[in-house]
């Protein structure tokens, strides 16, 4: 009746790999380079620098007229400045997602350990129950 508990192989695989986070998911040189560029451009300091760069051409856009001013806003200012600001927001969201993934990973680890402990307790309980059953049968027959 006693059955040996074998932990699921996924437990060992989880421990070997660890938690999946944004910083660990880039692959090779291209991923490394893209991550470096993203981390550089995706800063508020870069957004400020782009804003200053865009503002240099604002006086000429104002002199040229409404169409040029609208084009400057849409094509120069929004694209340069908002790009960096959006990237900053994505980095913040990714960091929060990484924290959540890490917490979920740790919670799953705890649940797996608790499940393994429960299996060991069930095994011990089964062995003790079998021993009690044998003693009672021996008393009955003896």
- pLDDT tens digits for range 53-82: 999 999 999 999 999 999 999 988 888 888
CA distance 117 to 24: 31
Q: Any idea what the Cα angle at residue 87 is, between residues 85 and 90, rounded to 5°?
A: 115
CA distance 65 to 62: 6
Report the percent of the chain where pLDDT is more than 90. 29
pTM of this structure: 0.55
> Which of 100, 117, 94 has its CA nearest to residue 38?
94
Which pair of structure tokens corresponds to residue 84? Answer: 């960096």
Mean residue pLDDT across the chain:
85
Which pair of structure tokens corresponds to residue 141? Answer: 């027959």
CA distance 123 to 129: 10
Using the predicted structure, report yes or no on whether residue 8 has a pLDDT greater than 50. Answer: yes
For the segment 131-141, the average pLDDT, to the nearest whole number, is: 91
């Amino acid at each position: 009746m006693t059955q040996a508990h074998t932990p699921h192989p996924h437990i060992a695989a989880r421990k070997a790999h660890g938690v999946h986070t944004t910083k660990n998911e880039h692959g090779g040189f291209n991923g490394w380079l893209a991550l470096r560029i993203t981390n550089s451009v995706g800063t508020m300091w870069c957004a400020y620098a782009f804003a200053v760069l865009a503002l240099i051409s604002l006086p000429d856009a104002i002199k040229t007229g409404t169409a040029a001013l609208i084009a400057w806003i849409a094509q120069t200012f929004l694209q340069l400045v908002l790009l960096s600001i959006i990237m900053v927001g994505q980095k913040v969201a990714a960091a929060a997602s990484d924290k959540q993934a890490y917490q979920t990973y740790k919670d799953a680890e705890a649940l797996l350990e608790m499940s393994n402990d429960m299996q060991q307790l069930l095994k011990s309980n089964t062995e003790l129950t079998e021993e009690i059953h044998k003693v009672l049968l021996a008393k009955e027959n003896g």
